[in-house]
Amino acid sequence: MRVLALAAFAAVLACVSPVSAQIAVAKPKAMPWRSLIEWQPKQGPVTYASDDLRLTVTASEAANPDERFAIVTLTRSGMAPVVLRGEPGIGWRFGIGRVDAKVKAPAVLLESFTGGAHCCSVIDVAVPEGKGYRVVRLTHRGVDGKSSDMFDAALDEFPIDLSGDGIADFVLTDDAFLYRFSSYAGSMPPPLVLNIRAGRTVDVSKAPGLRPLVLMQMAEARAYCTAPASLDSERNGACAGYVADAARAGQFAAAWRVMLAHYDRESTWNRAPFPADLKAFLRERGYIR
């Protein structure tokens, strides 16, 4: 009887083991280059791979499910695991790309959306450094002038080099312009462009190689600044962005004349007259001297 029982047990294992093995060593999904993949805790753990790079995304532990956030664990052969820890919020995206053309190893990006009115995204990047990785959280000069890791804008894909210097350009917005001269919807903030250099965030918005980007934004803001007045118009928000873009493009004087001819003189958004308020603000933010 014992021999028969063992034989039956072995037969059961023969049926179950292959399935268990498939679950344990499930092949990871291919990680597309530069695409940002959305993830929610309800999806459970997911694993992606690109060559010898493997990313595993899991949810953090929290007593309140709404306080969970994404944890991305990066592993490569011959190196210790690296962990990107997001922020609590309403959604997360992750992806791979190159932050330096001279470094073949991919960087890994995790973007957290904290939720709230028109806000915010937090961006963490694991940057190849030697035989390992360094985790960098992007920061910028916030509305209050202090360093902040919160951005109003979000990334649609992994950044590329726009200026031609081989370093990926993270294109966001100067959030100090939001609500400053008009409502959020009427604001047209200039681009804020950041690089990761030597393990820290660097503002390169004034780089000459970014002139095409600035000119494109400038043309769009000018169209709204000079549009015919209407009850729905908030031209001053657009005019502020237009003049700031022009200052970056070396066309401040000409843009200032255009602004003076078209800005909304009836706006009560700011206490001070718009031209004087705008000029002081642009000096404070470093657009003009």
Assess contact for 255 and 242: CB atoms under 8 A: yes
CA atoms within 13 A on the CB side of 42: 3
pLDDT band at 54 (very low <50, low <70, confident <90, very high): very high
CA 77 to centroid of chain Cα atoms: 28
Residue 116 has what pLDDT? 75
- Asked if the model's pLDDT at residue 184 lies above 90, the reply is yes
The lowest-confidence range among 17-21, 132-136, 148-152, 222-226 is 17-21
Higher-confidence residue: 204 or 131? 204
Can you tell me which residue has the tokens 């306080």? 67
Round the average pLDDT of the chain to a whole number and report it.
Answer: 89
Residue 197: how many other CB atoms lie within 10 Å: 14
pLDDT of residue 245: 98
Arithmetic mean of pLDDT, 242-253: 98
pLDDT for residue 232? 63
**What is the value of pTM for the model shown?**
0.87
Q: What is the mean pLDDT of residues 196-207?
A: 96
Cβ-based neighbours of 232, under 8 Å, separated by 6 or more = none
Is residue 56's pLDDT more than 90?
Answer: yes
The residues, ordered by sequence, that sit 6+ positions from 97 with a Cβ below 8 Å of its Cβ are 33, 34, 106, 107, 109, 158, 159, 160, 168
Q: What are phi and psi of 84, to 5 degrees?
A: -105, 125
What is the Cα 288 distance to its own chain's centre?
27
Residue 65, pLDDT > 50, answer: yes
pLDDT exceeds cutoff 60 at 6: no
DSSP string spanning the chain?
A: -HHHHHHHHHHHHHHHHHHHHHHHTPPPEE--BSBPEEE-GGG--EEEEETTEEEEEEEPP-SSGGG--EEEEEEETTS--EEEE--SSSEEEEEEE-SBTT--SPEEEEEEE--STT--EEEEEEEEETTEEEEEE--EE-TTSSEE--BSS--SB----SSSSSB--EEEE-GGGTTTSS-TTT--PPEEEEEEETTEEEE-TT-GGGHHHHHHHHHHHHHHHTSPP-TT--HHHHHHHHHHHHHHTT-HHHHHHHHHHHS-TT--SSSS-HHHHHHHHHHHTTS--
Contact 193, 199 (CB under 8 A): no
Q: Which residue is it, tokens 């009850």?
A: 231
Rounded distance between C-alpha atoms, residue 27 and residue 235, angstroms = 54
